[in-house]
Amino acid sequence: MENTEIDVETVVSHDGMPLTQFDTPIHKALEEQRLNRLAHFDVPGHKGGRGNKELREFLGEDTMRLDMNSMKPLDNLCHPTSVIKDAQALAAKAFGADEAFFIVNGATAAVQAMIMSCTEAGDKIIMPRNVHRSAINALVVNGAMPVYVNPGVNKRLGIPLGMSVEDVRRAIVENPDAKAILVNNPTYYGICSDIRSIVKIAHEHGMLVLADEAHGTHFYFGDNLPVSAMEAGADMAAVSMHKTGGSLTQSAILLTKNTVNADYVRQIINLTQTTSGSYLLLSSLDIARKNMSLNGRYLVNKSREYAEYARREINKLGGYYAFGIELINGDTVYDFDTTKLSVHTRDIGLAGIEVYDLLRDDYGIQIEFGDIGNILAIISGGDRNLEIERLISALSEIKRLHESEITGLFDHEYINPKIVMGPNKAFYSRKQPLLLRETKDRVCGEFVMCYPPGIPILAPGEMITQEIINYIEYAKEKGCLMTGTQDMNLEYINVVDEKGGN
């Protein structure tokens, strides 16, 4: 693996020493503690695995010994002053941010911290409706009000796209008191809005721009990819480092510019993030940042080449449509992430979730998700030629064995919502459970979504229409994992009690 264009610019550590992207402060401190033969009378109680031999045998002795608490030499995630502070400074430099915060509650916590640090109860925030549930969850908690910009929709694929700049401009003009704008960069399917133009318009009107970059970590390190949020001038970005950056699951980074008060953001993060940050997750962020800084260009370009090859070969099969840059229209699809392998399956008579299940059950291939019309395979520099060929061959076999008429298939993923009340008010209102088929024209009091991707079909405060009921019934029938409702079987939905009250 080759190192290319390595940034050797130094960062000054907490003790005045120079650090570069070759350094991993948290990793180094953990190694020193692992080797110093301390007698541990602190948590965790497994004491390096000696107190839980089965877990030690499963995860390995080294992993268990590195699972440590926030002792003085290891710093404290809630108030970093030494090695975590240094690691975060190196991450900020690597991503082109002014500050970086390590998150051990996933990009979900980073998205929520962004929203909660710039809005409070009653404040407006402009956002696309096809946001991840974490964004609307933040509104449920803090009482801010969404101003939704309906994304564009590709009618052939049935998927939501990005926000039109003119729609964003209109939302700003009609809501001059909004505090911020949230942008997906990119969507789950790899679609990007014109984030540079959105930043320019928002800043002209005194609004902050927040970017959900849960699926855009690699934008900071590869060639010929959409612009990253920090480069576009966004004020904050939530980066899910574990998805395409190589860290452990559940680890993420919140990036900020000096246009926001970083110390206040840290306080907001500490409202919900654990006080017992996992050093396994923290060190994985430290090491992954180093790896992406030194080798990211090679890894990301490799993943893009794999995805482009797979796209070409899958499209040769017929029936499938692995979509790419041809979708770019300069507006609702301003750019496309070519590392994403999104494949439309409806034209072979199969829902995406059916192809997902066939790949897993019959061919031993686990992809990221399948919805009612598409599948998504995440490609990274960790993949190999053999696995790419295996996926292509499996899709060919599935088409040969299972292709059928497309009659009766639901043809779109996104339904424009009708907002009746704010998410906070609806979620905490007095509610009553009704059978799904009886909820037409009632106000939803909870979330309904397929996971993945975790974009709500219904959010609290939205009107339940017959089209939405049909969509939910179809998704259930096809085997989508439905989440968000109090009823685990989704036979009932909690609707706002028409008598009102809390």
pLDDT band at 412 (very low <50, low <70, confident <90, very high): low
How crowded is residue 258: how many other Cβ atoms within 10 Å of its Cβ?
10
Residues 449 and 394 in one domain: no
Q: What does the pLDDT look like over 154-197, one tens digit per residue? A: 988 989 999 999 999 999 999 999 999 999 999 999 999 999 99
Instruction: Give the per-residue pLDDT at 408.
Output: 66
CATH number at residue 374: 3.90.1150.10
CATH number at residue 476: 3.90.105.10
- Pairing verdict, β 340-344 and 448-450: unpaired
Q: What does the pLDDT look like over 385-406, one tens digit per residue? A: 999 999 999 999 999 999 998 8
Across residues 266-290, what is the average pLDDT? Answer: 96
The fraction of the chain above a pLDDT of 70, given in percent, is 96
- Global pTM reads 0.93
Q: What does the pLDDT look like over 340-367, one tens digit per residue? A: 999 999 999 999 999 999 999 999 999 9
**Does the residue 410 lie in any domain?**
no
pLDDT band at 480 (very low <50, low <70, confident <90, very high): confident
Residue found under tokens 């979330």: 447
Peptide bond into 460 cis (omega under 30): no
Contacts (Cβ under 8 Å, ≥6 apart) of 394: 359, 362, 363, 365
Residues 396 and 439 in one domain: no
Over 50: is that where the pLDDT of 88 sits?
yes
Over 70: is that where the pLDDT of 306 sits?
yes
Sequence-separated contacts (24+) of 386-390 with Cβ below 8 Å: 388/306, 388/309, 388/310, 390/363, 390/365
Residues 317 and 367 in one domain: yes
Cβ proximity of 32 and 73 under 8 Å: yes
Contacts (Cβ under 8 Å, ≥6 apart) of 37: none
Tell which wins on pLDDT, 306 or 450: 306
The last residue of a domain, from among 354, 369, 402: 402
The DSSP 8-state label assigned to residue 98 in this structure reads: S
Residues 303 and 377 in one domain: yes
Burial label for 104, CB within 10 Å (0-12, 13-18, 19+), is buried
Instruction: Give the per-residue pLDDT at 4.
Output: 44
Instruction: Identify the domain containing residue 466 by its residue range.
Output: 423-496
* Distance, CA of 310 to CA of 185 (rounded, Å): 23
**Does the residue 351 lie in any domain?**
yes
pLDDT band at 475 (very low <50, low <70, confident <90, very high): confident
Which of these ranges, 33-37, 93-97, 280-284, 389-393, has the smallest mean pLDDT?
Answer: 33-37
Which of these ranges, 6-15, 143-152, 327-336, 383-392, has the smallest mean pLDDT?
Answer: 6-15
pLDDT band at 452 (very low <50, low <70, confident <90, very high): confident
* Distance, CA of 460 to CA of 141 (rounded, Å): 12
Phi, psi of 181, deg, nearest 5: -130, 130
Across residues 272-285, what is the average pLDDT? Answer: 95
Q: Where are the alpha helices (DSSP H) in 324-465?
A: 352-363, 385-402, 423-427
**Does the residue 447 lie in any domain?**
yes
Question: What separation in angstroms does the CA of 214 have from each of 136, 233, 493?
Answer: 15, 17, 29
* Distance, CA of 485 to CA of 179 (rounded, Å): 30
What one-letter code names the amino acid at 99?
E
Over 60: is that where the pLDDT of 2 sits?
no
Mean confidence (pLDDT) of the chain:
93
Residues 315 and 393 in one domain: yes
**Does the residue 323 lie in any domain?**
yes
**Does the residue 491 lie in any domain?**
yes
Q: What is the CA radius of gyration of the chain?
A: 23
Residues 437 and 485 in one domain: yes
Across residues 457-486, what is the average pLDDT? Answer: 91
Alpha-carbon dihedral angle through residues 157, 161, 165, 169, given to the nearest 10 degrees? 110
Residues 394 and 446 in one domain: no
The DSSP 8-state label assigned to residue 74 in this structure reads: G
pLDDT band at 481 (very low <50, low <70, confident <90, very high): confident
pLDDT band at 1 (very low <50, low <70, confident <90, very high): very low
Residue 340 host element (H or E): strand 340-344
Residues 398 and 432 in one domain: no
Query: Residue 341 pairs with which residues in a beta bridge?
Result: 377
**Does the residue 23 lie in any domain?**
no
Over 90: is that where the pLDDT of 409 sits?
no
Residues 390 and 433 in one domain: no
Residues 393 and 433 in one domain: no
Residues 380 and 453 in one domain: no
Residues 394 and 457 in one domain: no
Token pair in block for residue 477: 């029938």
**Does the residue 52 lie in any domain?**
no
Domain count, the chain: 2
Across residues 122-144, what is the average pLDDT? Answer: 95
**Does the residue 98 lie in any domain?**
no
Q: Which string of DSSP letters, residue by residue, matches 174-212?
A: H-TT--EEEEESS-TTSEE--HHHHHHHHHHTT-EEEEE
